[in-house]
Amino acid sequence: MIMKFMKLTKKTLSVLAAFLLLTACDGYLDEPLENNKLSSDTDYTDTEQMNNYRIGAYATFYDLQWETFPIIAVRGDDVNAAGDQAPLIATDEYKYVASDWMPNSAWLNLYGDLFTFLGAMEEIEKYKEFAPNPAVADQYKAEIKVLYGFELLQISRMFGDILIPKTSLSDDLYNEPLRTHEEVMQYISDLMDEAIPLLPNLRPNQRTDIVGGVTKHTALAVKAWANLEISNWQAVADATDEIIGSNLFSLEANYYQLFKVPGKLNNENLLELQYSDYGTGSGASNGYLWDFFGPNKFEPAVPGENGGWGFWEPTIKYIQFMIDRDDEDRLVTSVLFTQAGIDSLEELNGAEDLPSYISNETLSGDVIGNTGPGAEEARALFSSGKHYLPSDQITPGRTGYSSGNNFRVIRYAQVLLMHAEAVAMGASSSEMTATEAVNLVRSRAGLSALGAVTIDQVLDEKYAELAMEWGTRFEDMVRHNKTSELNDIRRTYTAADRFLPYPTEQADILSQLQ
């Protein structure tokens, strides 16, 4: 695959030009792109224009390039880099190559978003002077700060010590000092503290201006995640206490549908990337390139939906872990099985001992892998069910794999399990014990309650619940010095593997990275 590279050059970011190329969000998703262009008017007394910059920031956030998420999430023992995407395979095996295109592209994608967010906030600040209610401008900026904080978090999770841009001028990045991973996490935590008082005290799906937009609780979740990264257990518990104590969020009873169309804008979701095909079978649409996750051999129950690229494969280790604990609901949701994959599991378990619910036909009737000639040519034994939309939920006329689905980013289950981890590590909570938090998640999965949980049981629950989502497993094992779990026949983790090397193209132009 030929990729087009960009370098971070000494140019001023043109925020408005970027926004003109992006699809807006919320109600604006109901209209094609050409109906949502921004005015070039720079009259800052026309304060209604502020909302355009907020909308553009969300559109930028939703425009997640396909290669960024896999580089963030591939290094755990929950997923393999399948197929032939060499940079992803090298990253998965801790054989990092600084000149590889995928880490460089992820760096550029995320930093480009940060500059756009900063530019939007700078423009909103110019309107604020003339706004009838300046608090509106403050809320808009607070929403964008949360998007900024989330993406800064992902950059540092990948690369460790990084640069924190403070203005929309990329020139200014040359003068920023390199900040340690710990300093970046603290910066994000403090930034969320700035945003939290200015944000709506709602679930994202309760917002009427931008349905699914950032709220106070999204910011609290980002704060908790940043503090989890640096083992600041009490700060994690304090932030998750606020979310839990709001009584606004609940776990979706149907785990399978949580990741499908019925789970879009669910009461469980604190943050998601929103997409739409406008309910039409052709024409304008926006969405994530789900093909990356899909099986390349796919027989839809409702004809029309295409297969994918076969690059994202749940590990046999994860599948066996789930079988051993009889975690049926989450396993059949999280993993799509080919017949070849089932054969490999039968070799491990014995055909008569493999659970009857393991099938190459999904709960929606789609068949993974081919049943006819060429079935053995599937690129992966398994695919991610969390990134799969059944053919009976695809808008008639659309053919793209999983077309029209939203991308889940932060769920209440993650909040509960971050809370459980912090409390199990000694933090105090006024809302819920670690055992209560874990058992809420287990109950939704149809599993029996545990007694007083240990940190190992919390980490097992996170493995079961959050597999294939945002690299949680890798970070957990590193944070708790359990990195032997990451080793297999292909790779051996060492302390030097914690972060990716800076991309060569960036180190060449940013002296701080040298």
- Is residue 161 one of the residues assigned to a domain? yes
pLDDT confidence tier of residue 352, bands split at 50, 70 and 90: confident
- Is residue 443 one of the residues assigned to a domain? no
Q: Specify which residues 162 forms β-bridges with.
A: 179
Whether the pLDDT of residue 94 is over 80: the answer is yes
pLDDT confidence tier of residue 8, bands split at 50, 70 and 90: very low
- Cβ–Cβ under 8 Å, residues 456 and 420: no
Angle of CA points 494, 499, 504, to nearest 5°: 120
Among 338, 368, 390, give the residue marking a domain's end. 390
- 192, 301: one domain: no
Q: Tell me what percent of the residues of the chain surpass a pLDDT of 70.
A: 90
Mean pLDDT, to the nearest integer, of 17-38?
36
The number of residues in the chain equals 514
Q: What is the pLDDT of residue 33?
A: 30
Q: What is the pLDDT of residue 35?
A: 36
247 contacts: CB under 8 Å, gap ≥ 6: none
Query: What is the per-residue DSSP string for 246-315?
Result: TT-----S-HHHHTSGGGTT-TTEEEEE--B-TT-SSS--B---GGGTS-SSEE-SSTT-------EEE-
d(CA 311, CA 276): 24
pLDDT confidence tier of residue 39, bands split at 50, 70 and 90: very low
- 161, 305: one domain: no
Integer-rounded Cα radius of gyration of the chain: 22
Chain segment 296-305, per-residue pLDDT in tens: 889 999 999 9
- Is residue 64 one of the residues assigned to a domain? yes
pTM value?
0.92
Of 27-36, 177-186, 354-363, the one with minimum mean pLDDT is: 27-36
Chain segment 267-299, per-residue pLDDT in tens: 999 999 999 888 888 888 888 999 999 998 899
- 40, 172: one domain: yes
- Is residue 487 one of the residues assigned to a domain? no
Which helix H or strand E contains 413, and what residues bound it?
A: helix 412-424
- Cβ–Cβ under 8 Å, residues 137 and 49: no
Looking at residue 368, what DSSP letter applies?
E
Mean pLDDT, to the nearest integer, of 248-269?
97
**Mean pLDDT, all residues of the chain:** 90
pLDDT confidence tier of residue 3, bands split at 50, 70 and 90: very low
Q: What is the pLDDT of residue 13?
A: 35
Mean pLDDT, to the nearest integer, of 414-440?
98
Higher pLDDT, 210 or 40: 210
Cα–Cα separations (whole angstroms), residue 234 to 167, 430, 438, 455: 32, 11, 18, 15
- Cβ–Cβ under 8 Å, residues 90 and 491: no
- Is residue 445 one of the residues assigned to a domain? no
- 502, 362: one domain: no
Query: What is the per-residue DSSP string for 406-472?
Result: -EEEEEHHHHHHHHHHHHHTT---SS--HHHHHHHHHHHTTPPPPSSPPHHHHHHHHHHHHTTSTTH
Among 367, 390, 413, give the residue marking a domain's end. 390
- 313, 189: one domain: no
pLDDT confidence tier of residue 353, bands split at 50, 70 and 90: confident
Whether the pLDDT of residue 108 is over 50: the answer is yes
Among 390, 419, 444, give the residue marking a domain's end. 390
Q: What is the pLDDT of residue 350?
A: 82
Q: What is the pLDDT of residue 372?
A: 58
Torsion sign over Cα 190, 108, 104, 179: negative
Q: Tell me what percent of the residues of the chain surpass a pLDDT of 90.
A: 84
Both tokens assigned to 65: 């390039």
Q: What is the pLDDT of residue 5?
A: 26
Cα–Cα separations (whole angstroms), residue 416 to 105, 247, 438: 33, 13, 7
Whether the pLDDT of residue 355 is over 90: the answer is yes
Whether the pLDDT of residue 102 is over 80: the answer is yes
Chain segment 445-498, per-residue pLDDT in tens: 999 999 999 999 999 999 999 999 999 999 999 999 999 999 999 999 999 999
Q: What is the CATH number of the domain that holds 183?
A: 1.25.40.390
- 193, 329: one domain: no
Q: What's the structural domain count of the chain?
A: 2
Of 227-236, 347-356, 433-442, the one with minimum mean pLDDT is: 347-356
- Is residue 172 one of the residues assigned to a domain? yes
Q: What is the pLDDT of residue 9?
A: 31
Which helix H or strand E contains 336, and what residues bound it?
A: strand 335-337
pLDDT confidence tier of residue 18, bands split at 50, 70 and 90: very low
- Is residue 276 one of the residues assigned to a domain? no
Whether the pLDDT of residue 258 is over 60: the answer is yes
- Can you give the residue range of the structural domain that contains 349? 297-390
Q: What is the pLDDT of residue 371?
A: 62
Coil vs helix vs strand at 396:
coil
How many CA within 13 A on the CB side of residue 315? 23
pLDDT confidence tier of residue 428, bands split at 50, 70 and 90: very high
Whether the pLDDT of residue 316 is over 90: the answer is yes
Q: Specify which residues 383 forms β-bridges with.
A: 336
d(CA 380, CA 105): 25
Q: Specify which residues 273 forms β-bridges with.
A: 407
| Helix count and strand count (H, E) for the chain | 18, 10
d(CA 246, CA 412): 12
Coil vs helix vs strand at 80:
strand
- Cβ–Cβ under 8 Å, residues 192 and 220: yes
Which helix H or strand E contains 407, and what residues bound it?
A: strand 407-411
Chain segment 125-147, per-residue pLDDT in tens: 999 999 999 999 999 999 999 99
Long-range contacts (CB closer than 8 Å, 24 or more residues apart) made by 345-354? 345/316, 345/319, 345/320, 348/316, 348/320, 349/320, 349/323, 354/323
Angle 339-349/316-324 helices, nearest 10 degrees? 60
- Is residue 149 one of the residues assigned to a domain? yes
- 311, 192: one domain: no
Q: Specify which residues 336 forms β-bridges with.
A: 383
Q: What is the pLDDT of residue 348?
A: 87
Chain segment 216-238, per-residue pLDDT in tens: 999 999 999 999 999 999 999 99
